[in-house]
Each structure stands twice: as C-alpha cells, then as structure tokens.
C-alpha cells in the first residue's frame, strides 16, 4: 500500500537509548555498546519498519551535557559510513560539529557517505559552546551560542557550495579529446565570508542526492533562524501539540520570509518513548530506569510513556492537525523500545493509512518527499555556453 503523504519518522540510535541509564537494564548488552553489529541489528529493525532515518548524536567531549553514567562515543560520520553497505532504504543521519571542524572536510565526508549509501546520507548540524571542547582543540576560546550558530550558518553555506561545486554531468570520459571531465562544470566556490575563506571546488564528485538533507535542532532564537534559513529537516522539542503547532507555524513563516517554500521544510518533534503493554507497565519501566539514576531523568520536550496504540494515535493526531510533519522517536532503551516501535507502533500507523509500508524511492530525499536540488552553478555554466 502506498500512502498519499506519509508521516515522517526518524529514530535516534545514540548510545544505549535516550534514558541515561538505559545501558543498565536487562538486555542492553552494555559490553556491545561500541560493536557496530549491535547498531546494524537496530538499523535492520528500523529498515523493516520503513522509518525515514536513523540518527547518531555526536560530540567531541566525553561529558558535555550528558547526565549519564555511560561514557564514550564513536565518530558519528564513520558509524554512518560503516552501516551504509549493509542497509538499503533507510536514511543515515550523522551529527557533525561546525565549530571546530573544517567545512571542506565536512563536505566531502557527507558526500562520501552519500556515495557509499547510494543517496541516504544526511547531516545534523552541530555546534560547540563549551570550554571543554574548545580546550580539546586549543585553537580558539569557547564561543557563546549566538556566535557558534552564526559560524554554523556560514559553515552550512560553504558546505552546500562545495556539494554543488561539481555539476552532475561533469565527468565526461571523452576518449577522443583525452578529457576525463568537462572542467567548465567544476566550479571554484571562492567563498570569502566572515569566518571562512574557502577556494573550492570539492574533490568529490556530486553525490546521489546532490545535497544530503541538512538537519537542525532548534534550541534558541538563533537556531530557529538557522533552521528556517538552511534546514531541510528541523527537530523541535515541544511540550504539547499546541506548542508544536506554534513552533511549526513560526518556522514555516520564517522560511517563507527568507524566500523559501515552507513545504520544503520537514518539522519533526522529538518524542521520548517508553513503551509498555499498558500505561502503568510503561510507567513502571520508566520508574525502574529513574531508580537506577536516583532521580527522574528524561530529555526535554514531549514524552510518551504508554502503549504503542496511544503513541500511534498521537502521531496520527499531531500530523493530521498540522502540528508536525512527523517525529524523531527517541527510545528510552534501544533494545526494548525499537522493537516496540517496529512491531507495534508502525503496523498501527500503516493500518491507519498514514505511514508507508515500502520506501517510495532509493534516496532519503525520496523518502522525505524533497526534490533533488540542481547545482547552483549549473545555470551559470549553461548561460555561459549560450
């Protein structure tokens, strides 16, 4: 069955789950936390459920803003690349910092994941504001959020230009003239901005999606502006449906104000998911997790502590009423809640006719219903020829 317009569901596969003590619960296989096969099994499940994407958080620091006893994290971009050859259909969202990285490296890393996955890469744009991360690099002092987001904004701009620097048909392999590429279709970006001067072009040919989708989490007015300006997918935290609806309306208006079609924006609400056969059973699971932590611990924003049927109803209700285009599901404990999402929540949404049962195409853009953008340089060279 195909649905006219599917809701969009992402899945956060960071750590052992969104609850800080998830690694301590039965079945979490704490010793396999850094085993890529553990992640591959989770991706298989997410793919069986035809979710839009899986997502990996990242940070250069061991402790930053992570109120958990769990320690250690692998580079999210390389994790995405590792998972690409053994998966199909599902999007792979890697979080990559912009404060202490080189846009040139970031651009080719994401392009390469896109090549390796045949068009399923996406980039969650991150920025660092802590002294802890600044000290790890030792190149500049810690920046406040407004400053770091401004830098992220310019980094995304540079990265996108690099993604566009090769036109799709630059490689010609013209044996007669001995030319491998049409160099008129490979462009220097000559970016001279406030924070970066980058000559370009990318060393990597344009990737299957042209531009892998850009994901931005909003947490402040500055990040809302960044999302409206640059994001394809926006992650918001909302307390309830009304709050989500208001934020989505604000984002769409802000996008329109900068000349974008608001329908090119996918606004997804973060939801902390604790599933149980009954609502009391789910509450009991959460209480157990909180007891391990010694206090109530959950991410900011909306939490669903209840049955699969109730979560399916919430998803249906919020998307049908225009409060959201979908959700980023943040399972409290991956080893339990991912199965519940795939085996219970998704079948209910499919039965209700609001969620796909097959991927509509091969790329994440296809799944998100986002058109593949032409290179901004393509028209320039076409008109130069004319």
Annotated binding site: 58, 95, 219-220
Considering beta carbons, is residue 61 or 254 the nearer one to another protein? 61
Considering beta carbons, is residue 112 or 283 the nearer one to another protein? 112
What sign does the dihedral 343-40-326-24 (CA atoms) show? Answer: positive
Give the contact letters, 226-265, x = binds to another protein (CB under 8 A), - = no: ----------------------------------------
**Radius of gyration of the chain from its Cα atoms, rounded to whole angstroms:** 21
70 binds another protein (CB under 8 A): yes
Q: Of residues 71, 242, 291, 321, which one binds another protein by CB under 8 A?
A: 71
Rounded to whole angstroms, the Cα distance separating 23 from 334 reads 9
Considering beta carbons, is residue 60 or 318 the nearer one to another protein? 60
77 binds another protein (CB under 8 A): yes
Q: Of residues 65, 67, 88, 135, which one binds another protein by CB under 8 A?
A: 135
Closest alpha carbon to 299 in 57, 134, 75? 57
Q: Of residues 12, 13, 18, 25, which one binds another protein by CB under 8 A?
A: 25
Q: Of residues 41, 44, 102, 310, which one binds another protein by CB under 8 A?
A: 102
Considering beta carbons, is residue 85 or 361 the nearer one to another protein? 85
What are the residues whose beta carbons fall under 8 Å from the beta carbon of 21, sequence distance 6 or more? Answer: 68, 69, 289, 290, 292, 293, 297
Tell me how far, at minimum, the Cβ of 207 lies from another protein, in Å. 9
Helix, strand or coil, per DSSP, at residue 234: strand
The interface with another protein within residues 173-202 (CB under 8 A) comprises 173, 175, 177-183, 186, 196-201
Closest alpha carbon to 103 in 235, 232, 224, 202? 202
Q: Of residues 42, 54, 90, 116, which one binds another protein by CB under 8 A?
A: 116
What are the residues whose beta carbons fall under 8 Å from the beta carbon of 167, sequence distance 6 or more? Answer: 185, 186, 187, 206, 375, 377, 378, 381
How far out from the chain centre does Cα 339 lie?
21
297 binds another protein (CB under 8 A): no
Rounded (10°) angle between helices 36-48 and 76-83: 60
Tell me how far, at minimum, the Cβ of 327 lies from another protein, in Å. 28
């Amino acid at each position: 069955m195909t649905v006219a317009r599917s809701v969009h569901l992402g899945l956060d596969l960071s750590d052992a789950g969104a609850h800080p003590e998830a690694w301590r619960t039965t079945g979490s296989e704490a010793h396999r936390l850094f085993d890529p096969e553990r992640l591959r099994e989770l991706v298989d499940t997410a793919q069986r459920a035809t979710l839009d994407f899986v997502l990996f958080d990242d940070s250069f620091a061991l402790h930053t803003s992570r109120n958990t006893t769990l320690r250690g994290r692998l580079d999210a971009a390389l994790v995405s690349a590792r998972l690409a050859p053994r998966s199909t259909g599902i999007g792979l969202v890697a979080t990559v910092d912009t404060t202490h990285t080189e846009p040139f490296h970031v651009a080719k890393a994401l392009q390469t994941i896109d090549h390796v996955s045949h068009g399923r890469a996406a980039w969650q744009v991150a920025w660092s504001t802590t002294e802890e991360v600044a000290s790890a690099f030792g190149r500049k002092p810690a920046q406040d959020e407004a400053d770091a987001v401004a830098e992220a904004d310019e980094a995304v701009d540079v990265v996108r230009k690099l993604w566009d620097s090769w036109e799709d048909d630059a490689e010609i392999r013209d044996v007669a003239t001995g030319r491998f590429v049409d160099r008129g279709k490979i462009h220097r970006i000559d970016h001279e901005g406030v924070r970066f001067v980058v000559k370009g072009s990318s060393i990597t040919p344009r990737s299957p999606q042209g531009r892998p989708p850009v994901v931005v989490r909003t947490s402040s007015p500055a990040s809302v502006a960044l999302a409206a300006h640059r994001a394809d997918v926006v992650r918001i935290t909302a307390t309830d449906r009304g709050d989500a609806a208001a934020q989505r309306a604000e984002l769409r208006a802000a996008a329109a104000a900068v000349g974008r079609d608001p329908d090119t924006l996918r606004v997804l609400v973060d939801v902390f998911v604790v599933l149980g056969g009954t609502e009391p059973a789910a509450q009991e699971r959460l209480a157990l997790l909180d007891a391990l932590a010694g206090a109530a611990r959950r991410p900011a924003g909306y939490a669903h502590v209840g049955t699969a049927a109730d979560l399916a109803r919430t998803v249906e209700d919020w998307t049908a009423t225009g409060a959201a285009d979908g959700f980023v599901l943040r399972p409290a404990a991956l080893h339990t809640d991912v199965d519940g999402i795939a085996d219970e929540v998704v079948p209910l949404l499919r039965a209700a006719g609001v969620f796909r049962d097959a991927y509509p195409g091969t790329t994440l853009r296809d799944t998100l219903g986002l058109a593949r953008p032409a290179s901004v340089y393509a028209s320039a060279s076409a008109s130069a020829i004319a």
